[in-house]
A and B are shown apart, each in its own frame.
Chain A
Amino acid sequence: MSRYRVAVHIVPRRGLLDPQGKAVADALHSLGFAGVRDVRVGRHLVIDADAPEAQSAERVVRDMCAKLLANPVTEDFEIANVEQA
Chain B
Amino acid sequence: MKFGIVKFPGSNSDEDAFLAVNDVLGQEAVWLWHKDHDLRGADVVILPGGFSYGDYLRAGAIARFSPIMREVVAHADRGGPVIGICNGFQIACEGGLLPGALLRNQSLQFVSELCRVRVENTDTRFTNQYTSGQLLRHCTGRKGLEDCRAIELL
Contact = CB atoms under 8 A, between A and B. Distances in A.
A19 B107 contact: yes
Interface in A1-57: 16-17, 19-20, 23, 43
Given A68-B61, A68-B65, A74 B107 contact: no
A20 B142 CA distance: 14
A20 B104 contact: yes
Contacts of A20: 104, 108
A19, A23, A43, A71: which has the most chain B beta carbons within 10 Å?
Answer: A71
Interface of B: 57-58, 61-62, 65, 94, 100-101, 103-108, 144-146
Contacts of B104: 19-20
Contacts of B62: 68
B92 to A, nearest CB: 14
Nearest to A13: B144
10 contacts: A17-B103, A19-B104, A19-B107, A19-B108, A20-B108, A43-B57, A69-B57, A71-B94, A74-B103, A74-B144
Interface residues of A, number: 11
Nearest to B109: A19
Given A16-B144, A68-B57, A68-B61, A73 B101 contact: yes
B103, B107, B146: which has the most chain A beta carbons within 10 Å?
Answer: B103
B3 to A, nearest CB: 29
Interface in A47-85: 68-69, 71, 73-74
Nearest to A73: B101
B61 A71 contact: yes
A4 B69 CA distance: 32
A57 to B, nearest CB: 21
A19 B105 contact: yes
A19 B141 CA distance: 13
